Amino acid sequence: MSTKKTQESPGAEDRVVAMARRERDQREQGYRAQAFKLYPRICARCGREFSGKNLRELTVHHKDHNHDNNPPDGSNWELLCLYCHDNEHARYQAADSYGSGTSGEEPAPSASHTPFANLDTLLNHKK
């Protein structure tokens, strides 16, 4: 009895990933251009203005953190500079995958519970 894994042709997965990535990029270009048409090229948080070369530091943030939600009226978009965008996502880390490299601030498990405390007294008693 041998369990065979279904083998897909090599590279197929890469191709799918590349395709998805390209699609995402295109979509991003699409809503980026549209958001720039709708909104002034200013960071909605810090008010920095962008033009020309540094315009790529101005990014489109999705208010509901759903990058698939791109209403043509721009109601889900907010123009944020890279820094403010980072901050924004740091606040809603659980809800989004943007900037997955940032370290989380998850609460450390409390150390008040020591599972061996009882064992210790138990052993001491036995001795």
Binding site residues, Zn ion, CB under 5 A: 43, 45-46, 61, 81, 84
- Closest contact distance (angstroms) between CB of 11 and Zn ion is 32
- The label of the residue with tokens 């008010």 reads 47
Nearer to Zn ion, 49 or 117 (CB): 49
Sorted by sequence, the CB contacts under 8 Å of residue 8 that are 6+ apart come out as none
| Nearest alpha-carbon partner for 59 in 40, 82, 75, 39 | 82
Nearer to Zn ion, 32 or 45 (CB): 45
Distance of alpha carbon 33 from alpha carbon 41, whole angstroms: 11
Structure tokens at 18: 């590349």
- CA quadruple 56, 57, 62, 68: dihedral sign: positive
- Closest contact distance (angstroms) between CB of 53 and Zn ion is 17
Nearer to Zn ion, 69 or 121 (CB): 69
- Closest contact distance (angstroms) between CB of 28 and Zn ion is 11
Distance of alpha carbon 118 from alpha carbon 31, whole angstroms: 60
Nearer to Zn ion, 87 or 121 (CB): 87
- Closest contact distance (angstroms) between CB of 17 and Zn ion is 22
